[in-house]
Amino acid sequence: MQYLSLISGVIVGVILFHTIYVTRTVFHQLDEGNTKIFLRAIFPKFFLLLNFLGLAFLLTAGYVNPGVNGAFILGCSNTALPALAYFLIPSTNKAKDMGMESRFKLLHSVSVILTLVLLISNALVLSIL
């Protein structure tokens, strides 16, 4: 179980670091054009990293505690949520580029909620284990 705690801790750390330091720094230090370029480069990598960590959690959970259980379900969630957010990126970018603000806000909100669910579920695991 300590391996699962470690992976959950890394997931929480990556999300917090990205949210608190990376995006805030970008919005305060770069102009709008460079912000757009940087965020479009970093967010796919962010979600792919979270997806990789989720898959590592899922595989470790399957090895440590085989069967359908809480760890397996969290592993599936840890893998699926960042994958969904990753696949929303092209539609989100297209909506922004085409000036479809309500669609952009909806898609962006969905990716934020997916990331928030991922953060909270892994933080809860850390408090339980």
Nearest to 50 by CA among 84, 27, 73, 23: 84
Q: Global pTM? A: 0.92
What local confidence, expressed as pLDDT, does residue 1 receive?
Answer: 66
What local confidence, expressed as pLDDT, does residue 129 receive?
Answer: 61
Cα–Cα distance between 107 and 16 in angstroms, integer? Answer: 21
Cα–Cα distance between 24 and 101 in angstroms, integer? Answer: 21
What local confidence, expressed as pLDDT, does residue 5 receive?
Answer: 93
What is the mean pLDDT, run by run of 10 residues, along the chain of 129 residues? 91 96 91 92 97 97 87 95 98 96 98 97 85
The domain spans of the chain are 2-128
Q: 111 with 85: CB under 8 angstroms?
A: yes
Backbone angles phi, psi at 67, to 5 degrees: 110, 175
